[in-house]
Structure 1
Amino acid sequence: MAKVITSQILVAYAQCPYKAFLLMCGEPSRELHEHEQIVEQQKSHVKTKYIDVLKKDNPNVQLYQQNNLEHGIDYLINAQLSIGTLLATCCFLKKVNDKSSLGNFSYEPNIFIGSYQINETAKLELFFIGYVLAQIQGCLPNVGHIITVDGKSHRIRFKNIEKNLIPILEPLQRWVTSLSSEPPPIILNKHCPICQFKMLCRAKALQDNHLSLLNGITPKAIRRYEKKGIFTVKQLSYLFKPHKRKKGKRNKFDNTHKLELQALAIRTGKIYLQYLPELCRQSTELFLDIEGVPDQDLYYLIGLLVCQPDTIKLYSFWANTAEEERQIWQQMLAVINQYSNAPIYHYGSYESRAISKLAKRYKTSSDTIIQRLVNVNSYIHGNIYFPVYSNSLKEIGSFIGATWTSPVASGLQSLVWQHYWQETSDTQYKDCLLTYNAEDCHALKLLVDELSKIKTSADTLSEVEFSEEHQKQKNQIVTEISSQFETMLNFAHMDYDKKKINFRQDTNQSIHEEVKKKRGVKKGYEGQRRINPKATKIIEVPAAVNCPICNNISLKITTRLATRLIINLVLTKNGVKKTIIKYLGNKGYCPQCCKFYNPPVISKYGHSQLYGHGFKAWLIYHRVAMRLPYESISEMMQEQFGEKILAGSIVTFIKDFAQYYSETEKFIIQSLLKSPSIHVDETTINIKGFNWYGWVFTNEEYVVFKLSETREATIVHELLLGYTGILISDFYAGYDSVQCRQQKCWVHLIRDLNDDLRETPFDTEYEMFVLEVKNLIIPIMEAIQKYGLKKRVLEKFKKEVDKFYQLFITDKWYRSDLVIKYQKRFKRYRDSLFTFLEEDKILWHNNVAERAIRHLAIQRDISTPFHESSTRNYLLLLSIQQTCRFQGKSFFKFLFSEETDIKKFKAVKH
């Protein structure tokens, strides 16, 4: 029997490729799930009723036949549209006045569905019918119609339907033409509960211990694991490795669900904890479970279990009709309001969404109730791993001892019971629903009790294990042994005799603490006692003339002397020279404010300042430009100039210079914002154990660095507010929202393409895609190399870009995940990838920003964790250093010059 692609098979492929394969290969039919049978019955009922009315109102209604189609019959019912290997079943075709190969008319397809809401499956079925019909009548219908179970007809536009159909039709066509097609892998998914082949597939998956048994795992994740040779849940469990939480994680709890840990829990049969559940139990608690019909947006049963120290009472609020929904909502509110401080436990997001909808529907305030809701699932997801395949209440509940009267009890089955109750009013179905709802409430309470038990007794429960860093916290012996080993390593210290080591952990104070520190010295720095050196030069300076406070009041010169000793470094032709100058001058006295004033030359130095500008400049240059650690700078200063400087002093000098050059930074920013293009990049900086971000902005002449606590692009928006030039950056999404024209970095794109090409040598489709990208960009690069970044030369390539998008990007379907990934990137950045073709001297890469930020990255790797305040000061000075570098100016000489206007300072002559 020849294979054909039917509507059923096409829709099945969208749900599960293996299901489509079984249907195409003639797998013996299995009974549909009761819910699917109900949907089909409702579809048949509305179809019969609608067609009867159609025949009554329109005499020109006939069964579909090829000649009837050509004769232009108004309505053709039960159409079997066949062309080649495609066979589409359409409930009826309606004639419209649009030209086609049939004549001055064409047909639009109409289908029925057994639900109130239109889903993607129904649209796909309609698109397939339209696709086949288009090949028969020579044109694609403008619209089709889907008639829901309430008899309403919904108009669906046919636009870009190939985008939805071709990815499905191509593999199905290969199955049709192949003599012996290999079946696709069995991958369990969310469609399985209503599939007629679910028992067959699950048995096979359990036999193979397939990865898709894990609820929530995606086909993409399965392929990624298979590339590593991981095909079973057991194999996956061995990938889990306990490790410490990374520094830089600001959020205390990382609740990402770890599939490897879930697999480990299944293999060992134990409960694994990432973090202890932080449930706060109270004497009175409420447990909520709501049943509804999502297709009708209806809620018919609210179960509320009220638990107090002495009593447990179950409330079941039942609505026989949609009109009674308001009543059960108000009844629930009345009971909940009796226990105003009690938490309301629920499982999943269904209940919270239901409360929000009902509150809006009946104009009731729900803020206080929503604040009391406690989603128990949020305490489990990513934190607690039970040895089950999914985190559904049924699976976890069954593991901890909860039971359900009906062996098929589930949310899906409740829809079946509710339908039968509505159709027959048989109380057995209502009883099933009430029992199921009550058992869900009790299972939820049992789960909350289990979480409380785990919280209080996790260290003693044999079935509970800690993961990651908690495993180490659990074993105090390991901690003690590790501590003593660390102490043994300290034997290697060269000052062991001074600071002896005590192996006893219970000693209140170790011997090395007996070394006394100088009182008043900042903790963490060694005390320093210095004797002022002898001055090599004494300079007498004139006294102040006028009082700085009383304006023009003349000062009276007194015999009191003011002195200041300044140690400085002076830049000479032959190098750097140390000077020790003592400034000496008479103090002036103001008879009006009765104060003494130092000479101006002495007043410009701080009250206790000992070091001059050149001295500080030498230290800062070695820190900022040479990237030396503080200890190395101190050692060099002592070796070369005989001055002992502490690390804390260098930090203070950096702060002083940051204030001194603050206007220089403002000038750099102003100059940047006037430029036609700005390059931007970012990198991480370790601030006291947390990842902060350093940002660089440059235009190849001026450079400025900024610091932010997170990677959010707020600082970019603030700095570039009102900027009208072009922003050149990588593909970090934070830059996309900046309100200016942009150019994305082709170097990043080519690097990513190349890396993926090496890692996937057997992906021929991706290889061909990369080849087409190369064919597009290489001629452009050759033109740039020959003629430079000139608009009149490069804009000629815009036609080639449009052709590339038309042939390989827009509305093109690919099988390779990698090609799809880059196709999306090319679509998203269509305008910003080729801005350099439209303007003069706009770079196609972001190497300028990377060149500027590389200095910071190296300093980051050399230095110990930074502090926020000192890092901001350091980045300001680094902005000036990199600006000098880009302009060919000596940063060393700029610092010694005491100039703040970087534009006035001349570049080095070569």
Structure 2
Amino acid sequence: MVTSRLLEAFLACPFKCHLLSEGEVPGGTEYSAWAAARDESYRRDGVRKLASQEVGPCIASAEPGLWKRESWQFAVAKTVRAEGWEAEIALIQRLPQAGASSRFVPIRFAANNRLSASDKTMAAFEAISLAKAFGAKTGAAKIVHGDKPATISVNAAVLSRAVHRKVSQVAALLSADLPPVAVLNRHCPECGYQDRCRKEAVGTDDLSLLSNLTGKERARYRGKGIFTVSQLAYTFRPRRRSKRLAARPERYHHALKALAIREQKIHVVGKPVMPVDGTPVFIDVEGLPDRNFYYLIGIRVEEPGGTEHRSLWADSSSDEKLIWEEFLDILSGTDRPILLHYGSFEKTFLKKMCELYGGPPEPSAAATAIASSTNLLAVIYARIYFPAYSNGLKEIARFLGFEWSDPLASGILSIAWRSQWEESRDAGLRDRLIAYNADDCEALSLVARTIARILSPEILAAEPAGVPEVVHAEELGRCILSKWRVFKSPLLDMEKINEAAYWNYQRDRVFVRTGTEARLNQKRPKRTSRCRRKAEKIVMAIPPSSCPECGKRGRTKSRLLTRTVEDIVFGRDSAKRRVVQYIFQGYRCRSCKHEYGLSEWYLHARKWG
């Protein structure tokens, strides 16, 4: 039986669906507990508000077959089963129709302001389950979502094929003899099984530990027999970068990342660049992306005279402009500021704030700093490979020895803390958020100093203990033995045969010893491409007015075909070539489906007319 709970889990992670089907209880995290409580509260409040509109009875009978004969408007918390599907529906609305049977519309509740594809798929699943239970046509479903509840309609008939495909995949997973492979993905921070799956992946050294590795790339490596990070590390081979590709960004090497993890050394590709001329200003912003609201700006200014940290807090969205103006004042009061951040979140923040509230005057140093802010993640990506499974700030900073005051703090957990603070105004939650933001700024400063040492050989030589061992990828090639090593065999005859195998190759491909003449003689003849002459005359073939098979005139257009031939035109004293293009419009008879309009002359390929 494919239930709503299993399908929703499958959409997030197939392995989570398997664990739920086996009855394994999730360990739970602070965020997952908060999210479950929030969703339940939102669903309960939404049902109560809508069901309070009902004048008569609100709860329908337990059996869906009796619903059509009852007079009701809303049915609360109903379970519908049909054809191996089981949908748990929070609210069902009955819509009477004049002269026809009533329509039943499932209503789903989602606390988020932005709906995901999973929300729409689950709403369609509920609508299709209702249609199966009543033997009716698939109708629409409704989703109530957001802080200011808005209702959207989902056309379940459009999503029907996709929903049936997902349900079939869940059914195949439940009936399979072997469980699916545990794969870490983006849903892990929200999942109660996170610690369990992470521990299993680390134990098996699974490729999914590398967060930048996509599912298709993992499948390709597994097809080659590479299943672990350690195995992937042995596949890296340094290659000289072509001059034609010098202007293009460096390609990310998953094998080099695996090599850095295996050897616990920092690997550098090429020559990364990071601005160092000025006063570094590190910023880290906390916000609620679902509401487009930024409530905390952490600023760390490192001047020669000392380091200063400021935390700009907004109690509500009306204070957002105030903390932005205060941020601009701090930036304007800094001598030659260089704005450094980690990731695109802060880049989006700077752009949106400038559009909403305006930026500093254009010639100022603050305006220049905002326009040329440096994303350290972009400096690191594909150029500096830290021995960490991802390029996240926390993993890299922890490798460098930094620890957060709250080890469990994370970006996704800060969303829960902020929501809880808005409900309770607990000063402890506010302090936890500010401390977490300050730790992020300090970790960002540590990563920036490390990158500066890596990119400056003189600093790296003066402070060898301050940075872990650094290896440049270009130097790795010196340690790799040549593939063309001397062939040794227990049988001397085999060595002679192998030596003779190179003779043809040297004669056909190697020209260093044979001189310029042999190379010129080996040039392949160029292919001569035939140039098509433009048609000098176009002839449109006249099709029959009726079907030659049944004689009826009803027809629809089919293929439009052409044939270009070369004809000879004879004059009184000459003969010349002329290119003629014939066009044939095909038709299909509506009665007998016979296709006609093509001449027998066209059906036989020919060059001359």
Is 1:467 aligned to residue 473 of structure 2? yes
Deviation at 1:282, TM superposition (A): 2.4
Instruction: Give 1:300's aligned residue.
Output: 295
Match of 2:52, SS state, is helix
Aligned residue in 1 for 2:327? 332
Q: How does 1:443-458 map to 2 (within 5 A)?
A: 443-457=443-457
- Residues in 1 aligned to 2:189 and 2:87: alpha-carbon distance in whole angstroms: 26
Question: Which of 149, 152, 156 is the aligned partner of 1:151?
Answer: 149
Q: Which amino acid aligns with 1:282?
A: D
Decide whether the 8 Å contact of 1:79 with 1:89 is kept in 2: yes
* TM-score, with length taken from structure 1: 0.51
* Unaligned stretches of 5+ residues in structure 1: 476-488, 496-627, 634-695, 703-724, 726-779, 800-836, 843-885, 888-910
1:195-226, CA deviations, whole angstroms, 9 ceiling, x for partnerless residues?
Answer: 11111111111111100000121121111111
Out of 522, 526, 533, which is 1:701 matched to?
A: 533
Q: How much does 1:492 deviate?
A: 6.8
Task: Decide whether aligned partners of structure 1 residues 700 and 409 sit closer, same or farther in structure 2, where only a CA change above 3 A counts.
Answer: same
Change in 2 beyond 3 A, CA 1:373/1:494: closer
Equivalent-residue separation in structure 1 for 2:165 and 2:369 (angstroms)? 46
Distance 1:127 1:248 in 2: 51
**CA–CA separation in structure 2 for the residues paired with 1:490 and 1:232:** 43
SS, match of residue 429 in structure 2: helix
Change (3 A) 1:492 1:77: closer
Within-5 A mapping of 1:129-140 = 129-137=126-134, 138-140=136-138
1:7 alignment partner in structure 2: 4
Report how far residue 698 of structure 1 moved. 7.8
1:348 is aligned to 2:343: yes
Q: Does 1:264 align with 2:259?
A: yes
State the Cα distance separating 1:93 from its structure 2 match.
Answer: 1.2
Q: What per-residue deviation string (whole Å, max 9, x for no partner) do you get for residues 601-659 of structure 1?
A: xxxxxxxxxxxxxxxxxxxxxxxxxxx999789xxxxxxxxxxxxxxxxxxxxxxxxxx
Given residue 207 of structure 2, which amino acid in structure 1 is its aligned partner? L
User: Conserved in 2, the CA contact under 8 Å of 1:41 and 1:114?
Assistant: no
SS class of match (2:435): helix
Q: TM-score, normalised by structure 2?
A: 0.75
What letter matches 1:245 in structure 2? R
Give a deviation string over 1:354-400, Cα, whole Å, max 9, x none.
12122223344696453231000001100010111000000001111
Which residue does 2:124 correspond to in 1? 127
Q: Structure 1 residues 354, 159: CA separation in 2 closer, same or farther (over 3 Å shift)?
A: farther
The offset of 1:146, in angstroms, is 2.7
Q: Of the candidates 20, 25, 28, which is equivalent to residue 23 of structure 1?
A: 20
In structure 2, stretches of 5+ residues that fail to align are 481-509, 523-527, 539-558, 564-580, 592-597
Alpha-carbon deviation of 1:139? 1.2
Equivalent position to 1:225, from 221, 224, 237: 221
Match in the other structure for 2:113? 116
- Residue 304 to residue 493, structure 1, CA distance change in 2 (3 Å): same
Question: For the residues of structure 2 that align with 1:132 and 1:279, how far apart are their CA atoms?
Answer: 57
- Distance verdict in 2 for CA 1:5–1:290, change over 3 Å: same
How many pairs align? Answer: 508
Residue 399 (1) aligns with residue 395 (2): no
Q: Following superposition of structure 1 onto structure 2, how do residues 678-689 of structure 1 map, counting pairs within 5 Å? A: none
Aligned to 1:84: 83
Say whether the 8 Å CA contact 2:12–2:187 is kept in structure 1: yes
Contact 2:3 2:85 in 1 (8 A): yes
Deviations 1:561-616 (A, max 9, x none): xxxxxxxxxxxxxxxxxxxxxxxxxxxxxxxxxxxxxxxxxxxxxxxxxxxxxxxx
1:163–1:428 distance in 2 versus 1, CA, 3 Å: same
Q: Which amino acid aligns with 1:106?
A: R
For structure 1, which segment, 156-165 or 183-192, has the greater mean C-alpha deviation from structure 2 after superposition?
156-165
Alignment partner of 2:328: what SS?
A: helix
Query: Aligned partners of 2:587, 2:171: CA distance in 1, in Å?
Result: 42
Determine the C-alpha separation between the residues in 1 that align with 2:359 and 2:73: 51
Choose 1 or 2 for highest CA Rg.
1
Cα deviation for residue 792 of structure 1 reads 5.2
Evaluate the alpha carbon distance shift between residue 490 and residue 59 of structure 1 in structure 2; reply closer, same or farther with a 3 A threshold: closer
Q: Write the mapping of 1:551-562 to structure 2, written as runs, cut at 5 A.
A: none
Cα distance, 1:87–1:143 mapped onto 2, change above 3 Å = closer
Q: CA RMSD in A?
A: 3.8
Q: Is the 8 A contact 1:144 1:155 kept in 2?
A: yes
AA matched with 1:120: A
2:217 match: secondary structure: helix
Measure, in 1, the Cα distance between the counterparts of 2:529 and 2:514: 44
Shift of 1:39: 2.8
Letter in 2 for 1:260: A
Partners in 2 of 1:307 and 1:121 — Cα distance?
A: 45
Q: Is the 8 A contact 2:279 2:335 kept in 1?
A: no
* 8 Å CA contact retained: 1:72, 1:105: no
Show the counterpart of 1:714.
Answer: none
The answer to whether the 8 A contact 1:113-1:122 is kept is: yes
Q: How is 1:38-187 mapped onto 2 (pairs within 5 angstroms)?
A: 38-64=34-60, 65=62, 66=64, 67-71=66-70, 73-97=72-96, 103-137=100-134, 138-176=136-174, 178=175, 181-187=177-183
Aligned to 1:289: 284
> Please, which moves more after superposition, 252-261 or 148-157?
148-157
Deviation at 1:291, TM superposition (A): 0.4
User: For residues 61 and 362 of structure 1, do their structure 2 counterparts lie closer, same or farther at Cα, with a shift above 3 Å needed?
Assistant: farther
- CA separation of 1:84/1:632 partners in 2, compared to 1, >3 Å: closer, same or farther? closer
- SS of the residue corresponding to residue 407 of structure 1 reads coil
Deviation readout 1:770-821 (Å, 9 max, x if unpaired): xxxxxxxxxx9xxx9xxxx98758776999xxxxxxxxxxxxxxxxxxxxxx
Tell me the CA shift for residue 113 of structure 1: 1.7
Instruction: Name the structure, 1 or 2, with higher relative contact order (CA <8 Å, separation 6+).
Output: 2
1:242 alignment partner, one of 230, 238, 241: 238
How much does 1:340 deviate?
6.4
Using the TM superposition, give the Cα deviation of residue 335 of structure 1 relative to its aligned residue in structure 2, in angstroms.
1.0
Matched, 1:279 2:279: no
Q: 1:283, 1:308 within 8 Å by CA — same for their partners in 2?
A: no
Rate the CA distance shift 1:224–1:94 in 2: closer, same or farther, 3 A: same
In 1: Cα distance, 2:419 partner to 2:80 partner? 34
2:437 is matched with which residue?
Answer: 437
2:359 and 2:103 mapped to 1: Cα distance? 51
- Provide the C-alpha distance between the structure 2 equivalents of 1:791 and 1:60, rounded to a whole number of angstroms: 72
Offset, 1:403: 1.8
- C-alpha separation in 1, matches of 2:384 and 2:166: 38
Farther off after superposition, 390-399 or 459-468: 459-468
Instruction: Provide the secondary structure at the position in 2 that maps to 1:105.
Output: strand
**Aligned counterparts of 1:185 and 1:363: Cα–Cα separation in 2:** 50
Give the direction of change, closer, same or farther, for the CA distance of 1:181–1:629 in structure 2 (3 Å limit): same
Q: Distance in 2 between the 1:430 and 1:490 partners?
A: 74
**Cα distance in 1 for residues equivalent to 2:41 and 2:249:** 51
The letter of the residue matching 2:170 is L
Q: How far did 1:31 drift? A: 4.2
Cα separation, partners in 2 of 1:247 and 1:280, compared to 1, 3 Å? closer
Q: What amino acid does structure 2 have at the position aligned with 1:109? A: P
> Which amino acid in structure 2 is aligned with residue 424 of structure 1?
S
**In the alignment, is the contact (CA less than 8 A) between 2:127 and 2:140 conserved in 1?**
no
Look up the equivalent residue of 1:221 and give its one-letter code.
Answer: E
Q: How far apart are the structure 1 equivalents of 2:55 and 2:354?
A: 49
In structure 2, C-alpha distance between the alignment counterparts of 1:305 and 1:375, rounded to whole Å: 15
| One-letter amino acid of the structure 2 residue matched with residue 123 of structure 1 | K
Look up the SS of the partner of 1:140 in the other structure. Answer: coil
AA matched with 1:194: E
Contact 2:51 2:74 in 1 (8 A): no
Contact between 1:39 and 1:114, CA under 8 Å: does it hold in 2? no
SS of the equivalent of 1:111 reads strand
Deviation at 1:259, TM superposition (A): 0.7
* Paired position in structure 1 for 2:428: 428
